[in-house]
Structure 1
Amino acid sequence: MLKVRAVPISFKNIAINKAYTRPQLTDIWGLGGPQAIARGVFTPANANIIILFVTHDKRDDSTPYDDHILGDVLYWEGEKGHLNDKRIANAHVNADEVHLFYRDHHRDPFTYLGLLTLIQFKEKKDKPSEFQFLINEYALFDENELKEPGIDPQTFVSETKREIIINARLGQQHFRRQLIQRWQSCSVTGIKKQDVLLASHIKPWRLSSNGEKLDAYNGLLLTPALDLLFDKGIVTFRQNKKIVLSSQLASWEYQKMGIDSAMKLRELPIRTSNYLEYHRDVIFKHI
């Protein structure tokens, strides 16, 4: 990581799917020279911005990272020295924006592909950590663009909403796939019939940041009854993994739904535990 003087880094003059060389970006951002962004990760001083410069086909004498795009997902190996691993992995917590410049060959200019949302992070000690990001260009939508001359606001809003809805559905599908991969069966009961299990957000979708929406640790794989009660804040889980039942329902009603006070989560990763603390404090209905 190379930190440079505090300059405002703006993406106002950076266009999605447009190619840029490092010298061009240096001029746009008013940096001292291309050396400021010569590395794979650039973190401007005093800004909640992380910029990745990713090359698929690298020079023969460079570190052989396995970085590539498959569909709308970036598979990226972090820095050899792990310098920015934790900051990138916690970007959604710290409100950091992660931007991607990507090129297929090391002789090509970089194409700006927009914002990234972390899907999965595997920390490694003896080799680069592994990251998966959803390429989420729609997060760059700026309502001020509606005021541009020649654009019909009604048409523009309609198309944008449609794109956002499609993007949200794709994100939810990806979230479900991640939970199935992670849990294999219901997080509580162990039921394995995946087509009846639901991907439940711990911190609700509507209240989550872009990163939190797709963070597999912000989810449980639940049977329909558990999913409904958990979503409504009628059940939650303690730090010791045990279920907590709200007084919103009588004991016989829980029994009819197949829910009992002996239930517990099969496991509880630390990051999931942090989300559950939010669920207990904000979503759960104690009375």
Structure 2
Amino acid sequence: MNFENWLDQIGLSKRTADSYSGALSRTISGWAIEAKLIKRPLTSIQSAQKFRDVAEQIKALTIFQEKNVKGKGMYSAALNQYEAYLDDTSGETIQEDIEDVLSNDSLEKTEKLTQINARVGQGKFRQQLIDQWKGCALTGFSDTRFLVASHIKPWRASDNQERLDCFNGLLLLPNLDKVFDLGFITFMECGGIKISEMLENKPLLGISADMHIELGDAHQAYMAFHREYVFEKRYGG
């Protein structure tokens, strides 16, 4: 799946997808090539980690900062979207996380297995979410065969205890899990949904402004992290 098809799949219009794709492959790539950060267009990069490293250098360029302000954040959004695309389609992030667990000498063998299962949404972590939510946390859909066990505070940002904490998890339908994981939606302290202005075709994704989730006190710190570092950082509300 190429970048433009992925943007279409997550609900962006063709016009928006074309804007991001063009900005990435031509304009931003041109700045990066001129600054000798890369030799080929950014779209030739298929490693999420390599792209993150290059993107940070691009964001430090004066021309990028000036044009990004004039473009109301469009260029930074294009970079963020391509990073999300690579994370979503390469499988690299999950594999790296599993390798980090396996190489962690401070964890016992059984602890490593527990954490790996939690990372891929299985095992005890998933069962605890099923027991807690009884179904999709947002819609109430109860057939757990179709539901995804998702971390609120991303796995990579969590410590060993947080990774296994059932209050750092939501049980969601796949479409809702995807938009939450990518930062297109988040939830306020009261449980009300907050939707990024960049998310298009909301009805097709089953998302509406009146959606609500029941959050307990133990969920709040995790959701606050999601609002600040996943939702607001990536899409700026």
TM-score by length of 1: 0.42
1:283 lines up with 2:230 in the alignment: yes
1:223, 1:170 → 2: CA distance?
19
Q: Any idea what the Cα deviations from partners look like across 1:39-95, whole Å, max 9, x if unmatched?
A: xxxxxxxxxxxxxxxxxxxxxxxxxxxxxxxxxxxxxxxxxxxxxxxxxxxxxxxxx
Query: 1:138 touches 1:164 (CA, 8 Å); kept in 2?
Result: no
1:155-209 Cα shifts (integer Å, max 9, x gaps): xxxxx9x988744333442111100011111111000010001111000111110
Query: Is 2:218 the counterpart of 1:264?
Result: no
CA RMSD, Structure 1 to Structure 2 (Å): 2.6
Aligned to 2:194: 244
Q: Secondary structure at the match of 1:200?
A: strand
Aligned residue for 2:177?
227
Contact 2:185 2:194 in 1 (8 A): yes
Give, in whole Å, the separation in 1 of the partners of 2:138 and 2:187: 10
Gaps of 5+ in 1: 1-136, 143-159
Partner of residue 151 from structure 2, selected from 198, 201, 225? 201
User: By how many angstroms is 1:248 displaced?
Assistant: 1.7
AA in 1 matched with 2:134: Q
Pair 1:240–1:195, CA change in 2 (3 A)? same
> Which one has a larger percent strand, Structure 1 or Structure 2?
1
Secondary structure, in 3 states, of the residue corresponding to 1:283? helix
Whether the 8 Å contact between 1:138 and 1:163 is mirrored in structure 2 is: no
Query: SS in structure 2 opposite 1:260?
Result: coil
The aligned residue for residue 128 of structure 1 is: none
- For the pair 1:273 / 2:220, whether they are aligned, the reply is yes
1:217 maps to which of 167, 174, 177? 167
Taking the aligned partners of 1:272 and 1:139, their CA distance within structure 2 comes to 30
Q: Distance in 2 between matches of 1:167 and 1:221?
A: 18
Q: Percent identity?
A: 38
Amino acid at match of 1:229: V
TM-superposed deviation, 1:245: 0.4
Residue 199 of structure 1 aligns to a residue whose secondary structure is strand
Residue 274 of structure 1 deviates from its aligned partner by 1.5
Rounded Cα–Cα distance in structure 1 between residues aligned with 2:116 and 2:104: 18
Number of corresponding residues = 130
1:216 shift after superposition: 0.5
TM-score by length of 2: 0.50
Q: In 1, Cα distance between the equivalents of 2:189 and 2:103?
A: 34
| Residue of structure 2 in register with 1:141 after alignment | 105
Aligned to 1:107: none
Aligned partners of 2:115 and 2:163 also within 8 Å: no
Does the aligned pair in 1 maintain the 2:138–2:172 contact within 8 Å? yes
Q: Which residue of 1 aligns with 2:13?
A: none
- Contact kept in structure 1, 2:115 and 2:164, CA below 8 Å: no
**Higher helix proportion, which one?**
2
Partner of residue 116 from structure 2, selected from 169, 175, 190: 169
